[in-house]
Structure formats: structure tokens, C-alpha cells
Amino acid sequence: MSETVTTTPEVKKPELKLTSSPHLHSTWSTQKAMWIVVISILPALISGVLFFGLYQLIVVFVSIAGAVLTEYAIKYFRNQRITITDGSAVITGLLLGLIVPPNFSLVLVFLGSVVSIAIGKEVFGGLGYNIFNPALVGRAFLQAAFPVAMTTWSKPEFAPDAITSATPLSAWKFVDGGEPFFTATENLFYGNIGGSIGETSALAILLGGALLFVLKIANWRVPAAMVVGMLVFGGIFHLLNPENYPTPVDQIFMGGFLFGAIFMATDWVSSPVTNKGMYIYGLGIALIIVMIRLFGGLPEGVMYAILLMNGFVPLINRYTRPVIFGEEK
């Protein structure tokens, strides 16, 4: 018996790892997703540089620097983990830099990005806790604080001689006595028009948006609901009075609609969590935009529309809460 030494093959002990749930992890991290969002915004930045000149790169850079520095400073003074590498501050700065007018003052854009991060985000507790989209809070602040600077639009590079030009929306709305002026759909699509740095070219924005939707980083339901809402609400008014109101398709390409729909309204933090809620949210934004554009005192309403609906998000989440399994409806 003693000769039959059983050489047991070395059994590898099963590694027992005791952890609490969740046990399945996605390969996605906030960090990874955020950097892909940054990449998706790049086409819009390139279009802005192409149409308005290299100076816009400096504007965007200053905006990003302001956002990241503010985030660092606040986290440092509050003794919290420094979270600037997750990319969220970079995105906020990048977005803010793209929604200010071309050739904007560097001091003011820096101030705007400081307000974005400090008042739009960190006051509420940082990433994931903010009620409103931080970049839009910064822009709303700039709009209220410096109304003249925020509405001085430089002309695009390939436009006829002029130093400033009206945006298609103000050209349509605030014409000096007479017919409203409609910009050609083609120009609206490629972006050779007046407007904020990154918002003019529908093509570039859609390119970046495609990446987000293919990788499922942004939920398509919000922009889809916004487009449908614009087609319906804008369409009704266009059909009622085609001479006064632009077609809904033009309206989609005008101003900040697409930029807001793809990069702002889909913000994970400040948009609803349920599918039904996202439809309501998108339709609400579109309705407010149509109301402000056609009947309000301002030429453009995307910013206020998204901020207003951000305020409704907790309510929407509450009323579209799915029925718990087994619960009677």
C-alpha cells in the first residue's frame, strides 16, 4: 500500500472572493465614457475653428482650464478626493467654450466656467448631484451678467464682408421693418452662419452625436423626442402661417437646438432615468423652445428650455416610476 503513492496533482485552490453585490461589472467606467464624450464633441470644435478662426481654440482652452482649476481648488479646500481626471470638468469647460459667441472675451469665459463648476456643480455636491446642467448654468450666468458681450456675433469666415452678423434666428425675428429673413437650409446644415462657436454646424454635431448613440453613451430617446416635438409644435405654427414662421426642419438646424439636444439634454445627471420620462422631457424642451423662439422676447430659447426642464426632472422621475414586479398597478 505504501508503494502506491498517489501523486495528487496540485489542486489549485479555488479563489474565494467574498464581496457584496453587485457581482457583475460593466467594462464601462465614468472616466472612459467621459473621454469618449470629449472625442464626440471635437467635430463641433473643429467646425467652430474652421468657421470663426483659430482664436476660438484659445477661448475653449481657457474655458476648460477654468473648469478644471475650479474643480481642483474646491475639492482641495473641502478635503475631498480630487476628481479632475474623470473628465467631467473637462466636458463642462469644453461645452461652455463652445456655446459662447465667437471671439468672446477670455476673462469672461474663464469667469463663466468658474461659475459653471462652482455654482452649477460643486455647490450641489459634485458630479452626480447637480440638478442643472453645469455648462448651461455658466452660460445663463454670462447671459444675465454680460448681455451685450453675449449677443455680439462675429461673422463666419466664408461670409460676405461684415464684422458682425446676425444669427439666423435674430435675422428672422428682429428684422428692421419688413419681411422676416430666412437663411438657406444648406447654410444652416453646414454651419456657415452666425452663432455660438460650436453650435452652427449641424453636420459636425451629428457626426459627434452618431458616435455617442452607436456606443450608447447618450440615450437616443431625449434627442428623438426633441426632434419629434419640434416637428409637431414647430410644424403646427409653420402650417398656420408659413410666411412668418420658419419650417420645423430649419428650426432644428437653427441656433443651439442640435447641440443642446445631443450634448446638453442627454446629460446623464440632469435628465430623467426612465424611458417614458425621457420622452416627456424631450417633448417639454421642444415645446418651450418653440414658445420662446416664436413668441418670446429672446431669439433663442434652447438654454432656458433645457434648464427649465432640468428643474422638472425629479417630478418626471417620480411620476414615471415603473411598477415594482408583483405590485398591483
Partner 1 sequence: MMSKQVSYWTEFYKGLYDQNPIFRQVLGMCPTLAVTVSGPNGLAMGLATSFVLLFSGIVISSLKNLIPKQVRIAAYIVVIATFVTIVDIVMKAKFPEMSKDLGPFIPLIVVNCLILGRAEGFSSKNNITRSVLDGLGMGVGFTIGLTILGGIREILGSRTIFGLQVLPDAFEPWVIMILPAGAFLTLGLLFGLLNFVELKKKTKKIKEDQQRALAEIKKLTESSEEDLAVKEG
Candidate residues 144, 163, 214, 324; the one interacting with partner 1 per rule CB under 8 A: 144
Cα gap 132→313, rounded to integer Å = 10
For residue 56, give Cα distances in angstroms to 47, 51, 98, 138, 201: 10, 10, 9, 18, 15
What amino acid occupies position 71?
A: E
Q: Looking only at residues 288 through 307 of this chain, which bind partner 1 when binding is defined by CB under 8 A?
A: none
Q: Quick one: which of 35, 55, 124, 146 contacts partner 1 (CB under 8 A)?
A: 146
Q: Which is nearer to partner 1, 144 or 323 (CB)?
A: 144
Among 73, 149, 207, 211, binds partner 1 (CB under 8 A): 149
Give me 321's grid cell: 416610476
Binding residue for partner 1, selected from 123, 210, 236, 239, defined by CB under 8 A: 123
The answer to whether 145 contacts partner 1 (rule: CB under 8 A) is yes
Residue 130 CB contacts under 8 Å (≥ 6 apart), including other chains: 120, 121, 124, 269, 270
Q: Is the dihedral of CA 248, 254, 255, 257 positive or negative?
A: positive
Within the chain, strands assigned E span none
- Single-letter amino acid code for the residue at 172: W
Smallest Cα–Cα separation from 196: which of 235, 138, 244?
138
Q: Closer CB to partner 1, residue 58 or residue 123? A: 123
Q: Per-residue string for binding with partner 1, 81-110, x by CB under 8 A?
A: ------------------------x-xx--
The answer to whether 220 contacts partner 1 (rule: CB under 8 A) is no
CB-side neighbour CA atoms (13 Å) of 291 = 9
| C-beta closer to partner 1: residue 24 or 148 | 148
Of the candidate spans 1-9, 44-52, 64-72, 137-145, the one that interacts with partner 1 by CB under 8 A turns out to be: 137-145
CA–CA separation, 259 and 253 (whole Å): 9
Task: Using the minimum distance from each CB to partner 1, give the nearer residue, 44 or 62.
Answer: 62
- Provide, rounded to whole angstroms, the least separation between the CB of residue 146 and partner 1: 6
| Chain positions contacting partner 1, by CB under 8 A | 105, 107-108, 119, 123, 141, 144-147, 149
